Amino acid sequence: MLLSVKEPLTGATVAVTNSIDTLERFYAMTDSNGYASFQLQAGRPYEVVATGVGYHPATLKIMAPAAGTTYTMIAKNASKIMEGVTVISKRPIMRQEDDKLIVEPENLAATSTSGYEVIEKVPGLFVDQDGNIFINSLTPASVQINGREMKMSAADMATLLKSLPPNAIGRIEIVRSPSASYDASASGGVVNVVLKKGVKIGMTGSVNAGMQQGNYGNQYTGVSLNNNDGEKSSFVNFNFNNRNSYDQIVTDRAFTVDSLLSQDAATLYHSNVYFAGYGLAGPLSKKWSYDFAGSASLNHFNNNTKNQSDIFDVLTPQKLSNNLNTVTNKGNSYYWQNGIEFKYKPDTTGSEWKTDFFYTWMKNTSAQDYITAFTIPFVRSFSGDGEQDNRRHAITIKSDLKLKHTKKFTLETGFRISASDFRNEAKYFTTSGGTPLVDSGRTNTFHYTENINAIYAQGTRTFGKNFVIKSGFRVENTNMTGTQQVPAYSRFSIHRTDLFPYVYLSNKLMSIAGYELRAYLVYRRTITRPQYEQLNPFARYIDPYMSEKGNPALRPQFTNNYEFNVSVDQTPLLAAGINDTKDIFTNVIYQADSSRSTAYRTYDNLGKNKEWYLRGMGALPPGGKYFFVLGAQYNHNFYQGLYENKPLSFKKGTWTLFTYHTLKLDKLSTLTVNGFVRFKGQQQFYELSSFGSLSSSINRMFLKKKLTVTLSVNDIFLTNRNDFTINQGSIHAGAVRKSDSRRFGLNLRYNFGVRKKEEVNPFNVEAPAG
């Protein structure tokens, strides 16, 4: 988009609407050279509308031609006195498209060192200290990369996202109530991280480097290269990250009837992460195209924990025991994934057939050394060491067919086959008096396989102009087998087939000041299956008084979700819903024996839970110098069942507030502020104190907008720490948890490259081959 004086207009909003199916709409924001790029269906009519504050909207109707075609649009001043005035226009950071909430992460990525930090800053998403991501409910969301489920634990997924460069993320899709085309395991919704693929015409790239400093520091650097000749596109990027942080937990736990265990555990985390991503996409024929992408990462970690433990008599101040436990965990995590998607477009109505093949390989090798030194009641020490080798393979094949029979009816159907193989080998030894002995309680060999087969069908019909109904079902066949060979042979298997219905209703309520007010009503049934780590009976050593292990007897849990929500001009406004869960399983702490001297963390099916939630969000419409999002959410949970074979009844309500602000200081500088606060929070059966975080950044462009410098500070007031208690069964404990959350950062990013036809500064509307 150009100014009347032939200068490119940066930050203008471009909307492209399918003239046949107006529900198909695309958005983009012009870059520093005035470019916006789209991939459209060749031979179909579209209307292109470009808007910038202070300028008349520029409109163009096109019939999408062959790939690589460019169009030039001229923006005219709304009044003659606007000549020379700074023009500011901005695409909204969040918008609603059908059943997805689309988040544009550009500003968030500028102040982040990894993809994980980008997600932490998305308004309305909450990431706990264990890496779980929450949307509406207190059930973690399913995390996808480019629409593919990763089959990872929360900790492994967090490690992967921390290895992902922040500027590699093109957008984030949030699906609160996934349809039948999604896996039925997405009980907490879906967060889909869509990675960038070289979409700008020509050879382009960027180099970035930065650092963050708290008590400890992070440093990172990376390079990204993209090439697009109008038909074929390719990309490659590399990133290195040196990460250092700490976590501290101070705990008081009722130890025996008349004693108290006090612990102060501090862990230093150090890792070097190497990441590489690559991809190639293009046409195979007029109707067929392919898209291949992959990535690989290596995480070399070295974590050290020092845990001071004291046992006191509760009636007297006498110290009964004192020891210092030191644990070192170091090793390497390897991750490699490749996927290729084939797409067939038979006609110009919007019908398509997509088939995807995806393979993932992960390996984690680690060595642990620990020593416990007692000074009270006597001086002695004991130690141990061990090695773990975890390997995972997963392959997924899925095929999705979308048929648009008329302007108002769409049929979707498909299948998905996934197979996973997990193997864990652990060998541990204890040393007492200088003699190493096999630790039979921790030496373990476990093999787990999983196969899930699914088919689905759903239809979407528009009645009149405004009422939309989408209804369908999904059938999933689950086959899970786990075999423990060491220390003793045991085996479990689950074979079951389940039906998951889905209903989605949408209707335009009214228009207010030109903004469309639309309501949605959704029902769905979902399943949550235990993960590999939750099933593996291997006992992981934490300290002399605590360990954690999986539970091979865990059963899947089922949830019925009902939600009503309202959006204004594609921006979420209000949502209310209920999650009714049966056979719920969650994290619990049990005593290891009747002496109550040791405990272990595990997972168990407890009964049922009914959660209801209310969510509201408001925003100042984008386009001016100042834009903000402000929201609030309330969750109330009621658990009923058995805990340690005793009746359980637990109720808890939680309020969360979140906000995001951006202020355009001038045409080259932007100030952003984002934060959240959670009042009297909850994490499973842990009751949390109030906590939150406020972060800010300022960036400025130099060298003809090719260089961007960003200064940032996270958790300004050092408030992202909390107290928590647990009082369930025989466990009564309280603790304080804090981490290296306040960090000052500096980020430099330089864009380079040559684009085709750069002398005219057009919007580049790219039609796909085919």
User: Is 17 within the bounds of a domain?
Assistant: no
Positive or negative torsion for Cα 727, 730, 733, 739: negative
What proportion of the chain, given as a percentage, has pLDDT over 70? 89
Q: Which of 60-64, 356-360, 627-631, 709-713 has the weakest average pLDDT?
A: 60-64
Per-residue pLDDT tens for 482-527? 998 888 888 889 999 999 999 999 999 988 877 788 899 999 999 9
Give the residue, 402 or 117, on which the prediction is more confident.
402
Q: Which of 21-25, 30-34, 368-372, 514-518 has the highest mean pLDDT?
A: 368-372
Per-residue b/e over 60-84, b at no fewer than 16 CB within 10 Å? eebebeebbebeebebebeeeebee
pLDDT given for residue 745 in this prediction: 93
Per-residue b/e over 616-630, b at no fewer than 16 CB within 10 Å? ebebeebbeeebbbe
The label of the residue with tokens 């392919």 reads 290
Query: Which CB contacts under 8 angstroms, 24+ apart, belong to 309-312?
Result: 309/261, 309/262, 309/263, 309/543, 309/544, 309/545, 310/261, 310/262, 310/263, 311/255, 311/259, 311/260, 311/261, 311/262, 312/259, 312/260, 312/262
pLDDT given for residue 298 in this prediction: 95
User: Is 98 within the bounds of a domain?
Assistant: no
Query: Which CB contacts under 8 angstroms, 24+ apart, belong to 738-742?
Result: 738/247, 738/248, 739/129, 739/245, 739/246, 739/247, 739/248, 740/214, 740/215, 740/216, 740/245, 740/246, 740/247, 741/214, 741/693, 741/714, 741/715, 742/214, 742/713, 742/714, 742/715, 742/716, 742/718
Please, which pLDDT band fits residue 544 given cuts at 50, 70 and 90? confident
pLDDT given for residue 250 in this prediction: 96
Residue 313: half-sphere exposure toward Cβ, Cα within 13 Å: 6
User: Is 116 within the bounds of a domain?
Assistant: no
Positive or negative torsion for Cα 280, 284, 286, 290: negative
pLDDT given for residue 131 in this prediction: 78
Amino acid, single-letter form, for residue 555: R
Identify the burial level of 510 via C-beta atoms within 10 angstroms of its C-beta, where 0-12 means exposed, 13-18 middle and 19 or more buried.
exposed
Q: State the virtual CA torsion across 149, 455, 186, 171 in degrees, nearest 10.
A: 50
Within 515-616, residue ranges assigned H as helices are 532-535
Task: State which residues form the domain around 698.
Answer: 195-766
The average confidence (pLDDT) of the chain is: 85
pLDDT given for residue 104 in this prediction: 84
Q: Which of 57-66, 120-129, 536-545, 632-641 has the highest mean pLDDT?
A: 632-641
User: Is 57 within the bounds of a domain?
Assistant: no
pLDDT given for residue 472 in this prediction: 97
> What's the pTM?
0.80
User: Is 30 within the bounds of a domain?
Assistant: no
Number of independent structural domains in the chain = 1
Within 579-655, residue ranges assigned H as helices are none
How far is CA 565 from its chain centroid?
Answer: 22
pLDDT given for residue 14 in this prediction: 80
pLDDT given for residue 402 in this prediction: 94
User: Is 292 within the bounds of a domain?
Assistant: yes
Alpha-carbon separation of residue 484 from 425, 444, 540 (angstroms): 10, 8, 15
User: Is 677 within the bounds of a domain?
Assistant: yes
pLDDT given for residue 167 in this prediction: 79
CATH number at residue 320: 2.40.170.20
Measure the CA–CA gap between 92 and 69, rounded to whole angstroms.
27
φ/ψ of 627, rounded to 5, equals -140, 140
